[in-house]
Amino acid sequence: MRQFNKFKDTKGFITTWQRVLRFRYMITEQAKERCRILAFWEKHGATATEEAFKIKERTLFLWQRNLKQGLGKLEALNSKKRTPKNKRKRIWDASDFKELHNKLTQDIKDGDKQLR
């Protein structure tokens, strides 16, 4: 028996299905809560929002900007990575390693002297 797809020629079905999948998995509970807080802020103002949720107005403006840059998609309110883009690295010269190695080996030979 042949398979029949009832959505075959439905205009915009693929786009709608992609949005359903995105909304199902990509919006975290934290993003939903931030959206609720933004709606509360629009309705009641900054002081009531700060008292109710303990969130500063600067944070609300940041969330509002993220939502606007994300074209109104709630997944723009998901938390981002907090690690620095360029992590600091300890840089050692090979000569420093050799000098340290020599001091350690000499200290072992000398006995009770402390390494300085």
Q: Give the whole-number percent of the chain exceeding pLDDT 70.
A: 91
Q: In this structure, is residue 71 part of a structural domain?
A: yes
Q: In this structure, is residue 102 part of a structural domain?
A: no
- pLDDT on residue 110: 61
Q: In this structure, is residue 32 part of a structural domain?
A: yes
Q: In this structure, is residue 49 part of a structural domain?
A: yes
Q: How many domains does the chain have?
A: 1
DSSP state of 83: S
Using one digit for the tens of pLDDT, what is the confidence trace for 26-66?
788 999 999 999 999 999 999 999 999 999 999 999 999 99
Range of the domain at 32: 13-79
pTM of the full structure: 0.56
Query: Hunting for tokens 């690690």 — which residue is that?
Result: 83
Q: In this structure, is residue 61 part of a structural domain?
A: yes
Query: Hunting for tokens 């075959």 — which residue is that?
Result: 8
User: Please, what is the average pLDDT of the chain?
Assistant: 85
**Position 112 confidence tier, pLDDT thresholds 50, 70, 90:** low
Q: In this structure, is residue 30 part of a structural domain?
A: yes
Who wins on pLDDT, 90 or 30? 30
What residue type is 35 in one-letter code? C
Q: In this structure, is residue 99 part of a structural domain?
A: no
Query: Is there a contact between 78 and 26 (Cβ–Cβ < 8 Å)?
Result: yes
Q: Tell the burial category of 31 from Cβ atoms under 10 Å away from its Cβ (0-12, 13-18, 19+).
A: buried
Q: In this structure, is residue 97 part of a structural domain?
A: no
| Closest residue by Cα to residue 75 from 115, 22, 114 | 22
End-to-end Cα spacing for the chain: 85
